[in-house]
Amino acid sequence: MPLSYPAGTIAEHMACRNKCAVFDTSHLGTVILDGPGAFDRLQIEFTNDLRKIAPGRAQYTHLVDPSDGSVEDDIIVWWMERSRFAVIANAGNTALVCNTIGGIDVTGSRALIALQGPESRRLVAKLSPEASKLSRNEVRLLTLDGIPCVVAGTGYTGEDGVEIDVPAGKAAALFMRIVEMGAMPVGLGARDTLRMEAGLPLFGHELGPGISPLAAGLDWVVGWNKESFRGKIPLEQERLRGPSRKLWGIAGCSRRPLRRGAYVYRSESSLGTGNEESNRKAGDDLGMVTSGGYGPSVGSGIGMALLSSGAGVHPGMEVSIAHTDRAAMKARVTSLPFIHNGKVNVT
């Protein structure tokens, strides 16, 4: 998956928001877990509660560190049949997930294609009328253009669409068929701006070592009513005391992109000295930008940031964003997502 195709990141981003886009997401890993003990194994290893769904549905969940509850991977589980599950993991964490839950790593034998955007249903109907009628998070075995596939009503853009698990040997032909039908191919650049506008966390940025589901605002990913699961004790302890950080959106006041690693300050009162350490000691440091860039649909620089929970942060709060090697920029705190139901939601 390239950073962008010839159309460029902004054109690709807007195609997904306004029409239809296709992504090659085959870098994601897939682990198949099958057999009578599969359900119980996933219940004990992952945070979410599979009792909330049923066969033929997908569920977002986390694998967390049992010692502190921080996220080791964020995962989509496709419950395909009564005792058969496809566990979709981040590429670099596939081996960890496979070793934790057991199962078979089938990443090399399949590809994943995501079709996203307001016109995606109309387009996929040409390949399979049944696929176009999938509800959100529904999973079905279907035939697309004569190819047996697993199709799910899931995605990572904030738009409607489907994700398609296709045999590796048939993937290129299906991808090109979708492009020929009118979908714009989209690269990693637009995939990142789309998910940021939708307020969707990325492992290694908003999730990872030292960051729990609660800090990322994903309490709903934790099945608190389960008797036991990996990492339940530290998560319950954090729930009682409250997370020390919270994930917020940051909207810039210009088109200048926000950048990961920039410091977020309460005000500009102590900025301008170039001494970031003294600024932090002065108490103006609220946290750090975890993801940043330019939001084509928002029309300004945007970012996501983990900010101190005890600092009185609130939507509309004016802040300053400072890199060590660039001038500070004005911004304001906003609720996530930036885009909701096709409308800009910057408060």
Q: For residues 60 and 163, state if they share a domain.
A: yes
Q: 21: which 2 tokens? A: 């886009």
Q: Are residues 29 and 176 in the same domain?
A: yes
Give the burial class of 228: count Cβ atoms within 10 A of its Cβ; 0-12 exposed, 13-18 middle, 19 or more buried: exposed
- Is 165 within the bounds of a domain? yes
pLDDT tens digits for 290-300?
Answer: 999 999 999 99
| Of 295, 333, 107, 96, nearest in space to 196 by CA | 295
pLDDT interval class at 341 (50, 70, 90): confident
- 231-256: average pLDDT: 97
* 132, 157, 182 - which closes a domain: 182
The answer to whether 302 touches 294, Cβ cutoff 8 Å, is yes
The whole-angstrom separation of Cα 319 and Cα 301 is 14
For range 270-291, the mean pLDDT:
65
Q: Are 307 and 246 in contact (CB under 8 A)?
A: yes
Structure tokens at 59: 């569920």
| Same domain, residue pair 161 and 259 | no
User: Of 148, 164, 182, which residue sits at a domain end?
Assistant: 182
- Which residue, among 265, 22, 241, has the nearest Cα to 123 in the 3D structure? 22
Find where tokens 């694998």 sit: 63
* CATH number, domain with residue 317: 2.40.30.110
Q: Strand pairing of 161-167 and 285-295? A: unpaired
Instruction: Determine contact, residues 248/286, Cβ cutoff 8 Å.
Output: no
Give the total number of structural domains in the chain. 2
Give residue 86's identity as a one-letter amino acid code: A
- In Å, how far are 51, 84, 152 from 54, measured between CA atoms? 7, 11, 14
Mean pLDDT of 158-171: 98
> 201 in a domain, yes or no?
no
CB atoms under 10 Å from CB of 282, counted, come to: 15
Task: Please tell me whether residue 287 adopts helix, strand or coil conformation.
Answer: strand
Do the domain assignments include residue 162?
yes
Asked if residue 281 has pLDDT above 60, the reply is: no
219 part of a folded domain: no
Which of 83-92, 156-165, 214-223, 326-335 comes out lowest in average pLDDT? 326-335
Residue 155 pLDDT greater than 70, yes or no: yes
- 279 and 141 both lie in a single domain: no
Domain assignment of residue 308, given as a range: 241-344
Contact between 98 and 31 under an 8 Å Cβ cutoff? The reply is: yes
